[in-house]
Chain A
């Protein structure tokens, strides 16, 4: 037994787990990241020079203008949620269950809608359906000779429409994933007994998918509640506020921080309650578990409804992708975006103007720097945290998992207010630097990063690590030599998700930026004030190009797409 005896000499503190400090440090970092700003926010909302007070809440909730903003937000969220449901659910069913033609293409296009920053979509729709110069209106006027516009995007219905076409992918993903779990034999049983196609869908499939439908609706509502860009672009010119635009208004000079803190709370409460409801609906697993392993799924034949269904799907995608992208491209290359794209109108000046402008250059650099930094730190931290919770390395790891996912409750604007409050005072004077933006992005993207890392680590069997340990490798060595190589593609996917999230972030950036620390989304917003649609379009196209480049990278290198599915080789 020379081998075994020579291997291991007894050491001091033989029983101590030397890896413990690493886990504890990661856990502490997370707690600090999330709890510190929220704590300050709550404190600010009830503090004044004379101590504890509820005066801020009283003013905020009693002010008729602010009440109107709350009401508008409610209307926007519910209607856009319903519209997103009305678009997303049928598309999901058509895509997952029927012989809809061009299914793969439609899925890719829906993914494009998913990664499009909603505020870019809003800008594009201003160019399409603005009452005076909107391309669709001018087309309508030239065809019918009318003087009034057909569409006015600067209205509540316009806002609802634009929000819905960029939030319906959440509903779509949720429902397609669930439909993927339901085996056909449950529906076949009904069909054999005489139910027609539609009856089967209505009486069998629908009830089973109901939790996913409701959950998707809640997700869409949550997204709508937190949006800043689209309301700022479409509602403000129309003369009404939402909670998010109002919060931003509180930060215009002079900043009324206590009011902002108090006004944030209803929004925070609403999102927390909605998420709780969603969790209840889905049970502990976080997705609509329908029971059963799935199995053979036969497609429903649409018959003569095939092409009408395809037309409907393409119409939706025209609104979300074709029309906006076309107008953005046109505006990027035109002298005057409202004029038809003739040879005289074509120009590359927008590009040179934008990219040679020093302010834009520094913004692009800032965005890329922050993107890379946040993605690296975020992916690292998320992976470490997912490892700690999956392997149950510390007491209270469930709390860690909860904290990692908690930021999804916090709308970007509210997070920005909280960070502002926490980090514009000693000892952490971060306002005015890129670091406060970094913290905002890291916090905001943590849920996405953690979910992805969690899924990655779940797929690595703990026995693979145990096998290493029993043969003599310590915990950290096993992490380095066994777990990390196996988790590599998952870690890269996490990096990509976080990076994409950062470059398109607006709602937190718009509050935390200073003239020296602008990012691309803020510059785009600035250009709106100047009416520089050409430059906006250029930056928008550039942002989209970067996003798609990363998405293509993920698909090519890792064999998976943004919506979390493996690339299918056969039938979509």
Chain B
């Protein structure tokens, strides 16, 4: 099972560089998501890997075989890949069985074996007995599973998925996320998965590559991206966060106006700009602190604030809290029921490890 190595990949459409020197390595058997907002180049990258587009620069390798470069592109039919499209692309004039068998015809597989493998894969996606139906007779979820079966049955070296869940309704989407992860763990095919939904990427992937403007902003395991984002963009894109523009005033603390925070850093340069990212669920609210109880105590920041808004969401409560003597308003996620009402004074508690420093320029 080979991996995919992308080096210096560039693709321009007119004057716009959709992909600008992208570098990424997908290890054998790994599932990597390409995550990003629309226009970031994730679908273009996928189509370059599939061979539908010719790169303007850079190289795409599978194993040690060069598949795409500015000079030569191996056509899609000779890349030993399979792809699941956003629209599923099931052929309406063929039955489910014919759709799934299509790729097997080019491998020289004898007929009896083809039928056996089709039956097996339909069973794996829970569509046994649907072979004679036409795609038009199936529901969206069933069509999606046919698309999955069609891609997996040919035992590709590389599997490509282009936002396969975006046409499904929310509950089905959630269910299918786990299904795709299960199938990946069962078959272990090297996979590239394009999505704009970060929750989906977190559930499905071994690693996530966050793309912006045609480049990889950060790549890593979901937990690493969430807890230790390296840029402002990544911090804001993955989950919700509070971003505070401050200035360093000591080796491990920053200040903004009347606010002073102890952060998770070791050797800050004094008076250097610093951006701090704090996740809303890592902030706790409590009864208002007495005088002198505000400050950094044993690695935990305790601040005084006033609740501006408290929205009840059922399993959590979403607060907006203004910190006293500053212009900083923090978003806090706390458990239900609400601990404080708008207008009340509260203590805001943030551990210093939760205050992650990002480069001030992105």
**Chain A residues in contact with chain B, CB under 8 A?**
1-8, 11, 14-15, 17, 461, 463-464, 466-475, 482, 485-486
| CB atoms of A471 and B72 under 8 A apart | no
Cβ contacts B40-52/A at 8 Å (1 or 0 each): 0000000000111
Chain B 75-101, CB-CB to A under 8 Å as 1, else 0, gives: 111111111011101111100000000
Inter-subunit contact B108/A471 (CB<8 Å): no
A4 in complex: contacting residue of B77, B89, B156, CB < 8 Å: B156
Which chain B positions have C-beta within 8 A of A467?
83, 85, 89-91, 150
B30 adjacent to chain A (CB < 8 Å): no
Give a binary string over B41-69; 1 marks a CB under 8 Å from any A CB, 0 the rest: 00000000011100000000000000000
Nearest neighbor of A463 in chain B, beta-carbon distance: B89
**B153-171 interface code vs A (CB 8 A; 1 in, 0 out):** 0111100100000000000
Contacts of A6 in B (CB 8 A): 107-108
Q: Roughly how many angstroms separate A15 CA and B92 CA in the complex, as a whole number?
A: 30
Q: Which of B52, B102, B150 lies in contact with A466, CB distance below 8 A? A: B52
- For B72, what are the chain A residues with a Cβ–Cβ distance below 8 Å? 14-15
Q: Are B91 and A464 in contact (CB under 8 A)?
A: yes
Chain B residues positioned under 8 Å from A461 (CB to CB): 87, 89
- In the complex, what's the smallest C-beta–C-beta distance from B119 to chain A, in angstroms? 16
B75 x A469 contact (CB < 8 A): yes
Q: Which residues in A have their C-beta under 8 angstroms from that of B150?
A: 467, 471
4 residue pairs, one from A and one from B, having the closest CB atoms? A471-B103, A472-B106, A467-B89, A7-B107
Determine which of B52, B93, B103, B157 lies in contact with A472 in the assembled complex, contact meaning CB atoms within 8 Å: B103
Query: What is the bound-complex CA distance between A466 and B52, given in angstroms?
Result: 8
Q: List 7 A-B contacts (CB under 8 A).
A: A1-B155, A6-B107, A17-B75, A464-B89, A467-B90, A470-B77, A473-B106
B residues neighboring A (CB under 8 Å): 1, 50-52, 72-83, 85-87, 89-93, 102-109, 150, 154-157, 160
B58 shortest CB reach to chain A, Å: 16
The CA-CA distance from A343 to B220 in the complex, in Å, is 95
- Tell me which residues across on chain A come within 8 A of B160, comparing CB atoms: 470
Contacts of B76 in A (CB 8 A): 466, 469-470
Interface of A: prevailing SS: helix
Q: How far is the CA of A472 from the CA of B89 in the complex (A)?
A: 15
A7 to B93, CA, bound (A): 25
Look across to chain A and name the residue whose beta carbon is closest to the beta carbon of B76: A469
A78 to B111, CA, bound (A): 68
Write out the residue numbers on chain B whose beta carbons fall within 8 Å of the beta carbon of A7.
Answer: 80, 106-108, 154
Q: Are A468 and B102 in contact (CB under 8 A)?
A: yes
User: A470 contacts B107, CB within 8 Å?
Assistant: no
- For B155, list chain A residues within 8 Å (CB): 1-4
Name the B residues within 8 Å of A474 (CB-CB): 75, 77
Q: How far is the CA of A5 from the CA of B107 in the complex (A)?
A: 9
B interface majority secondary structure: loop
Q: Whole-angstrom distance from the CB of A456 to the nearest CB of chain B?
A: 14
Collect the chain A residues with CB atoms within 8 Å of residue B156's CB: 4
Name B74's contact: one of A14, A473, A482 (CB within 8 Å): A14
Using Cβ atoms and an 8 Å threshold, which residues of chain A touch B92?
Answer: 486
- Do B103 and A1 touch (CB < 8 A)? no
A-B contact count (CB 8 A): 95
| Chain B residues, CB < 8 A from A5 | 80
A471 with B82: CB separation less than 8 A: yes
> Complex Cα distance A461/B92, Å?
11
Q: Tell me the bound Cα distance from A475 to B78 in angstroms.
A: 12
Say yes or no: A482-B77 contact (C-beta < 8 A), given A7-B108, A467-B83, A471-B102.
no
Find chain A residues with CB under 8 A from B73 CB.
15
User: A15-B72, A461-B89, A482-B91 are contacts. A470–B106 as well, Cβ < 8 Å?
Assistant: no
Q: Write the nearest CB–CB distance from B99 to chain A, whole angstroms.
A: 9
Q: Are A471 and B75 in contact (CB under 8 A)?
A: no
Q: Which residues of A are found within 8 Å of B107, using beta-carbon distances?
A: 3-4, 6-7, 472
A471 touches B106 (CB 8 A): yes
A111 to B82, CA, bound (A): 48
Given the complex, which residues of A lie within 8 Å of B87, measured CB to CB? 461, 463
- Taking a contact as CB atoms under 8 Å apart, the answer to whether A466 and B106 are in contact is no
**Nearest neighbor of A3 in chain B, beta-carbon distance:** B155
**Bound-complex Cα distance A481 to B303 (A):** 69
Residue among B1, B77, B154 with most chain A CB within 10 A: B77
Question: Would you call A463 and B85 a contact (CB within 8 A)?
Answer: yes
Return B45 CB to nearest CB of chain A, in Å.
Answer: 15
Minimum C-beta distance from A387 to chain B (A) = 16
User: Given the complex, which residues of B lie within 8 Å of A15, measured CB to CB?
Assistant: 72-75
Verify B154–A472 contact, CB threshold 8 A.
Answer: yes
Task: Tell me if A466 and B154 are in contact (CB < 8 A).
Answer: no
Residues in A with CB closer than 8 Å to B51 are 470
When A1-B1, A4-B80, A7-B108 are in contact, do A471 and B89 touch as well, CB less than 8 Å? Answer: no
Chain A residues within 8 Å of B82, by CB: 470-471
CA distance A470 to B87 in the complex (A): 15
Residues of B within 8 A of A486 (CB): 91-93
Q: How far is the CA of A298 from the CA of B299 in the complex (A)?
A: 69
B109's partner among A3, A8, A469 (CB-CB below 8 A) is A3
Whether A466 contacts B80 by the Cβ 8 Å rule is: no
- 13 more CB-based (< 8 A) A-B contacts, given A14-B75, A17-B75, A472-B154: A2-B155, A7-B106, A8-B80, A15-B72, A463-B85, A466-B76, A467-B150, A468-B102, A471-B82, A471-B106, A472-B103, A473-B102, A485-B93
Instruction: Report if A466-B85 is in contact (Cβ < 8 Å); known contacts: A4-B156, A6-B108.
Output: yes
Could you say which residues of chain B place their CB within 8 Å of the CB of A473?
77, 102, 106
Write the nearest CB–CB distance from A116 to chain B, whole angstroms: 37
Cα–Cα distance between A17 and B73 once the two chains are bound (Å) = 10
CB distance from B193 to the nearest CB of A (A): 15
A307 to B237, CA, bound (A): 64
Docked CA distance A1–B154 (Å): 9
Task: State the CA gap A11–B89 with chains docked (Å).
Answer: 28
Q: Which residues of B contact A485 (CB under 8 A)?
A: 93
Chain A contacts for B1, CB-based, 8 A: 1
A4 & B157 in contact (Cβ 8 Å cutoff)? yes
Residue in A14, A463, A473, A475 with the greatest tally of chain B CB atoms within 10 Å:
A463
* Residue among B76, B90, B93 with most chain A CB within 10 A: B76
Bound Cα distance A563, B74 (Å)? 44
In the complex, chain B residues whose CB is within 8 Å of the CB of A11: 78
- List the B side residues contacting A468 at CB < 8 Å: 91, 102
Question: When the two chains form the complex, which single residue of A17, A464, A470, A482 contacts B50, counting CB atoms closer than 8 Å?
Answer: A470
Least distance between B246 CB and chain A CB atoms (Å) = 47
CB neighbours of B78 from chain A (8 A): 8, 11, 14, 472
- Smallest CB separation, A459 vs chain B (Å): 12
A393 to chain B, nearest CB (A): 13
Hey, which chain B residues are within 8 Å of A471, CB to CB? 77, 82, 102-103, 106, 150, 154
In the complex, what residue of chain A is closest to B113 when comparing beta carbons?
A3
B52 partner residues in chain A, CB cutoff 8 A = 466, 469
Q: How far is the CA of A536 from the CA of B254 in the complex (A)?
A: 99
Contact residues in A for B106 (Cβ distance below 8 Å): 7, 471-473
From B73, which residue of chain A is reached at the shortest CB distance?
A15
Whether the Cβ atoms of B85 and A3 lie closer than 8 Å is no
In the complex, what residue of chain B is closest to A18 when comparing beta carbons? Answer: B75
B98 to chain A, nearest CB (A): 10
* B92 → chain A closest CB, angstroms: 7
CA distance A4 to B154 in the complex (A): 7
Q: How far is the CA of A7 from the CA of B156 in the complex (A)?
A: 10
Complex CA–CA separation, A8 to B158 (angstroms)? 14
Q: Which of A2, A463, A464, A472 contacts B77, CB < 8 Å?
A: A472
